[in-house]
Amino acid sequence: MKNTNPTISNKVDSCCEPNCGPTTCQPASTGTDELAQLLGHADPRQRLQGVRGLAHCAARELAATEHLQIQIVEQLARAVADREAYIRWNLAMALGEIGHAAGIEVLARLADDEHANVRLRVALSLGLIGDPAGIPILAHYVEDSYKIGEQAVVRAFAALALGKIGHADAVPLLARLATDPDPVVRWHAAVALGDVGNPSGLEALTPLAQDPVPFTRAHTAIALAEIGDPAGLPLLDRLAEDKVPRVAAIAQAARESLRAAL
């Protein structure tokens, strides 16, 4: 939504102006306090401006200090209970844009939101933050039932986020997603297991090597090469003989890559 309020624009533009003395120059937080006050405004457009303005301030070079980022996260937390879903999902995305681990606690309060648009943005932002502390929150989404058409988008985004976090603790959740009835979720689980790159993911990749969707089998081969464990070679041998020529070619290249790395 385009901002036509010059007062709000000025607050966003000045939120990170420095307070300079003879020998020091420190970022100011007065502007963020003013933006945070918008979060309690009766007009939801003003509240949205507050959320987006605070996220913008946190991204500005002069504001990129940990102290101010934490302060902005604490201010944004006021919007968790906002009655408008689009405010809450903008809040979730703002926390991902800021990227500070302090945002995980706030995202946890949004994890069971009734609106799927909020939940999928919680998943995305946990991936952007990339801290293993977000893994237990993503466990909420392994059985999320929301779909767009036939695609279980929240489960799919959860798989991607677990891969972005890239910690071995994500593997048990990805193993569950690897047997998901939705082929898009299984594909994202294969990609994520490769992103994690831990040998404990080999067992989860085993059923994906026989997935009915060729695209998933191809990404399983890539994941096996990314994990880089010789125990994955038998699966790559099987995939190298895949009936789909493109899958077989990708698996053969992955096998050569793995062998060269040993």
Domain residue ranges of the chain, discontinuous segments joined by +: 1-96, 167-262
Q: Does the pLDDT of residue 203 top 60, yes or no? A: yes
| 211-258 pLDDT, tens digit each | 999 999 999 999 999 999 999 999 999 999 999 999 999 999 999 999
**Across 180-193, average pLDDT:** 97
Highest mean pLDDT among 8-12, 58-62, 103-107: 103-107
Query: Which two structure tokens, joined as six digits, stand for 227?
Result: 């994990």
The mean pLDDT value of the chain amounts to 89
| 92-124 pLDDT, tens digit each | 999 999 999 999 999 999 999 999 999 999 999
Q: Does the pLDDT of residue 3 top 50, yes or no? A: no
CATH of domain 167-262: 1.25.10.10
Burial (Cβ within 10 Å: 0-12, 13-18, ≥19) of residue 232:
buried
